């Protein structure tokens, strides 16, 4: 580490000592891009500081009334992290775990993820510490409207384009968009992505996060002379991402045998592989109960309360739940179970030590969420493109474009790793490739 990098790193650790997720994501990244940091211009322009901290960040109150007429107040956030290569772009998360540290880590990861898609989008993130669990539809709608009333001045098609994330699906995007339209009087389609198909949404957007991850895994397998045919996938979560993974993995001949929730995991030896099962995942999500046991009850499979799926043997581990869901002991299980591919869907699913263990093990090939988890935002950018030409591409067209984008992210990551003598290190490779792109754009635009 050179002097400048050491100073930036020490400054961050002092200033953000109370923001563990944010520090974890930035410090891991600094480690990954170390081989590419030998350029005097970075210090001259204080580029690193400007890359690891958000350009700006908003905090606002979100007051709302529940169905009994009782008032509640939540905290809303929007982090506009980096606009070097396009307008700020990223999801909104409604979950009690949302803090300034979490939205900053998400905005940081989003910036580099978005750069890798090759599309002109900067990075952002946001959300609220609102818990949709147990809330009625009307309560969630009122919450979305109040959230947008506080936020609408800061976003727009050429400024910042929010989308969904945990707790925010197409239903919530609809309510957010409806309120944005009422407040501005403009049918500005590209102000939000993840919209419904009847009012400017893109085909495949809901499936894209999971589809993209499976396409990425398919490319890794292809490079090893293998295919998805007959592979067993260990998947966590049961949200949008897991749902998309199940569908595309099944289509390409693999089998997803686990799903998980905060209550434990289910093991389905037949695979989560029928339309009825896919639909049930959506129903579980919208039930607002946030438990996966219902799947076991419905389909008569085993449920393991309080456990994580990583104890199940399989060919690939695909974490799709949330940050830091894989601790060192889980990484040890993944390695002991003969898993050969570790492909992140969710952002930062492994703790620093767990990731180190997986990355450095010769037994498993690893891909980081900034690369393998970027399918969702890639199709968001395609949604913006369709909105601006007032046209809708077919399912086939969007799916083909998504596959091409994921494939090129794979190639870019592998090529950067190779260029810096890192062998087949897709995690460092993707971080370096995105870093180079954003730093060049920032240098070109001056201080
Ligand atoms: N949070 C989501 C993701 O990165 C959505 C981002 C977007 O579509 O803007 O996958």
For the chain, what is the largest distance between any 2 Cα atoms, rounded to a whole number of angstroms? Answer: 63
CA distance 23 to 10: 11
Q: Taking all residues of the chain, what is their mean pLDDT, rounded to a whole number?
A: 97
The CA 169 to ligand 1 mean position distance, Å, reads 11
CA distance 436 to 334: 32
Helix (H) or strand (E) holding 345, with range, is none
Alpha carbon 311 to chain centroid, angstroms: 24
Mean of the pLDDT values across residues 271-286?
96
Which two three-digit tokens encode residue 2?
């050179």
Q: What pLDDT score was predicted for residue 447? A: 87
Q: What pLDDT score was predicted for residue 298? A: 98
Which two three-digit tokens encode residue 317?
């581990």
Mean of the pLDDT values across residues 281-298?
95
Helix (H) or strand (E) holding 196, with range, is none
pLDDT, tens digit, 9 for 90 and up, residues 218-276: 999 999 999 999 999 999 999 999 999 999 999 999 999 999 999 999 999 999 999 99
Q: What share of the chain in percent tops pLDDT 70? A: 100
Is the CB of 166 within 6 Å of ligand 1?
no
The CA 113 to ligand 1 mean position distance, Å, reads 9
Which of 239, 346, 380 to mutate to test ligand 1, by most ligand atoms within 8 A of the CB atom?
380
Of 22, 217, 119, 116, nearest in space to 432 by CA: 116
Q: Are 130 and 123 in contact (CB under 8 A)?
A: no
Q: What share of the chain in percent tops pLDDT 90? A: 99
Is the CB of 384 within 6 Å of ligand 1?
no
Phi, psi (degrees; rounded to nearest 5) at 45 = -100, 5
Q: Are 90 and 168 in contact (CB under 8 A)?
A: no
Task: Give the orientation angle of helix 20-33 with respect to helix 352-360, to 10 degrees.
Answer: 30
Q: Which residues contact residue 25 at a Cβ distance below 8 angstroms, ignoring those fewer than 6 apart?
A: 105, 108, 109, 347, 348
Is the CB of 209 within 6 Å of ligand 1?
yes
- For ligand 1, atom 10, the nearest C-alpha belongs to 376
Mean of the pLDDT values across residues 199-225?
98
- Nearest atom in ligand 1 to the alpha carbon of residue 91 is 1
pLDDT band at 82 (very low <50, low <70, confident <90, very high): very high
Q: Which residue has the tokens 């085909």?
A: 203
Q: What pLDDT score was predicted for residue 1? A: 67
- For ligand 1, atom 4, the nearest C-alpha belongs to 377
Is the CB of 347 within 6 Å of ligand 1?
no
- For ligand 1, atom 8, the nearest C-alpha belongs to 377
Is the CB of 125 within 6 Å of ligand 1?
no
CA distance 290 to 345: 19
In this predicted structure, the answer to whether residue 415 has a pLDDT above a threshold of 90 is yes
Please count the other Cβ atoms lying within 10 Å of the Cβ belonging to residue 227: 13
CA distance 213 to 318: 8
Q: Residue 298: is it exposed, middle or buried by C-beta count within 10 angstroms (0-12/13-18/19+)?
A: middle
Strands 316-318 and 255-256: unpaired
pLDDT band at 432 (very low <50, low <70, confident <90, very high): very high
- Nearest atom in ligand 1 to the alpha carbon of residue 114 is 4
In this predicted structure, the answer to whether residue 123 has a pLDDT above a threshold of 70 is yes
Q: Are 298 and 280 in contact (CB under 8 A)?
A: yes
Query: CB-side exposure of 421: number of CA atoms within 13 Å?
Result: 3
- Nearest atom in ligand 1 to the alpha carbon of residue 193 is 8
- Nearest atom in ligand 1 to the alpha carbon of residue 209 is 10
Which of 78, 110, 117, 120 to mutate to test ligand 1, by most ligand atoms within 8 A of the CB atom?
110
Which two three-digit tokens encode residue 304?
């393991």
3-state helix, strand, coil in the chain (%, to 5): 50, 15, 30
- Nearest atom in ligand 1 to the alpha carbon of residue 109 is 4
CA distance 174 to 178: 6
Please count the other Cβ atoms lying within 10 Å of the Cβ belonging to residue 15: 11
Q: Which residues of 116-142 are buried (b: 16+ CB within 10 A; e: fewer)?
A: bbbbebbbbbbbbbbbbeebeeebbbb
Is the CB of 101 within 6 Å of ligand 1?
no
pLDDT band at 2 (very low <50, low <70, confident <90, very high): confident
The CA 208 to ligand 1 mean position distance, Å, reads 10
């Amino acid at each position: 580490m050179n002097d400048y990098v050491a100073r930036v790193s020490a400054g961050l650790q002092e200033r953000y000592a109370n923001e563990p997720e944010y520090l974890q994501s930035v410090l891991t990244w600094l480690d990954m891009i170390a081989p590419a940091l030998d350029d005097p211009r970075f210090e001259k322009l204080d580029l690193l500081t400007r890359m690891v901290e958000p350009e700006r960040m908003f905090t606002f109150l979100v007051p709302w009334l529940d169905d009994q007429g009782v008032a509640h107040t939540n905290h809303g956030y929007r982090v506009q992290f980096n606009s070097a290569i396009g307008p700020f772009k990223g999801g909104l998360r409604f979950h009690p775990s949302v803090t300034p540290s979490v939205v900053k880590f998400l905005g940081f990861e989003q910036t580099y993820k978005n750069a890798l898609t090759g599309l002109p989008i900067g990075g952002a993130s946001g959300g609220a510490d609102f818990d949709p669990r147990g809330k009625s539809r009307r309560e969630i709608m009122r919450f979305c409207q109040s959230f947008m009333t506080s936020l609408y001045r800061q976003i727009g098609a050429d400024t910042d384009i929010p989308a969904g994330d945990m707790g925010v699906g197409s239903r919530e995007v609809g309510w957010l968009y409806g309120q944005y339209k009422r407040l501005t009087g403009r049918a500005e389609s590209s102000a939000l992505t993840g919209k419904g198909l009847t009012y400017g949404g893109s085909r495949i957007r809901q499936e894209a996060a999971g589809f993209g991850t499976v396409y990425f895994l398919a490319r890794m397998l292809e490079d090893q002379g293998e295919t998805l045919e007959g592979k067993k996938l260990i998947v966590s979560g049961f949200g949008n991402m897991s749902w998309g993974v199940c569908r595309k993995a099944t289509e390409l001949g693999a089998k997803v045998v686990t799903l998980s929730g905060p209550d434990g995991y289910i093991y389905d030896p037949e695979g989560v592989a029928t339309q009825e099962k896919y639909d049930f995942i959506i129903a579980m999500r919208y039930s607002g109960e946030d438990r996966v046991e219902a799947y076991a009850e419905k389909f008569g499979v085993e449920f393991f309360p309080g456990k994580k799926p990583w104890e199940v043997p399989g060919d690939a581990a695909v974490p799709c739940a949330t940050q830091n869901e894989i601790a060192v002991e889980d990484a040890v299980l993944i390695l002991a179970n003969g898993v050969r591919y570790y492909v992140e869907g969710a952002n930062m699913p492994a703790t620093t030590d767990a990731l180190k263990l997986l990355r450095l093990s010769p037994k498993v090939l690893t891909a980081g969420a900034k690369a393998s988890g970027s399918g969702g935002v890639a199709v968001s950018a395609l949604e913006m493109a369709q909105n601006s030409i007032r046209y809708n591409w077919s399912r086939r067209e969007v799916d083909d474009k998504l596959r091409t984008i994921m494939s090129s992210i794979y190639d870019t990551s592998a090529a950067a790793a190779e260029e810096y003598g890192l062998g087949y290190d897709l995690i460092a490779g993707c971080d370096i490739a995105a870093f180079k792109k954003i730093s060049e754009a920032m240098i070109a635009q001056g201080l």
